[in-house]
Amino acid sequence: MEQYKKEFIEFMVDCNVLKFGDFVTKSGRKTPFFINTGFYRTGAQLRRLGGYYAKAIQEKFGTDFDVLFGPAYKGIPLSVAASMAMSEEFGAEIRYCSNRKEIKDHGDKGILLGSPLGDGDKVVIIEDVTTAGTSIEETLPIIRAQGNVDVLGLVVSVDRMERGQGSKTALTEIQEKYGFRTTAIVTMGEVIEHLYNKPYNGKVMIDDSLKQAIDAYYDMYGVKD
């Protein structure tokens, strides 16, 4: 596993973004782990987060694209932080764009904020986590309504590695349904590998009991061979 992935996993723990316990996802699944990027709250945290996203984006998509699109609301700071990091780390001048939940009818009118989208723009969508692929169904029509836009793919912070709406992972389903690439900074498999029975800051985050709960979750929602 690359060093930056290990650092990112520990970064999520430090920021209280990655939690273990009893939670319910947006899609209604009871889960023993939860990722909430709303806990990235300081300038220093967002700067580091943008850097991790930038590494994952550059590895999968390179720098030959125009816009990072972050769906409202959590995607707004992600698109800003990552576009800044793309400039700082790779010298790529990437525009950021997000949608509003409500169309603005005065001043800077329309449904978008940040850069407008237009014919020929190459776009990468940036999100926090995709569990069942439902959010992308809301995002794509907004993007494609702006013109003849080429959506290259989707990047998320963590691939939860569970089924989407069918028998494959959500990211695989998105890739096959919409014909673009998907990637993540880390997978939950990498998170488990790095934290299982290994102390971090004096505490074992994933012990045998929690590992059993995670395994049971994947027995129910994981991809079957």
Active-site annotation, residues: 104, 106
CA–CA separation, 166 and 170 (whole Å) = 8
CA–CA separation, 115 and 112 (whole Å) = 8
DSSP secondary structure of the chain: --HHHHHHHHHHHHTT-EEEEEEE-TTS-EEEEEE-GGG--SHHHHHHHHHHHHHHHHHHHTT---EEEE-TTTHHHHHHHHHHHHHHHH----EEEEEEEEEE-SSS-EEEEES---TT-EEEEE-SEESSSHHHHHHHHHHHTTSS-EEEEEEEEEE---B-SSSSBHHHHHHHHHS-EEEEEEEHHHHHHHHBT-EETTEESB-HHHHHHHHHHHHHHSPP-
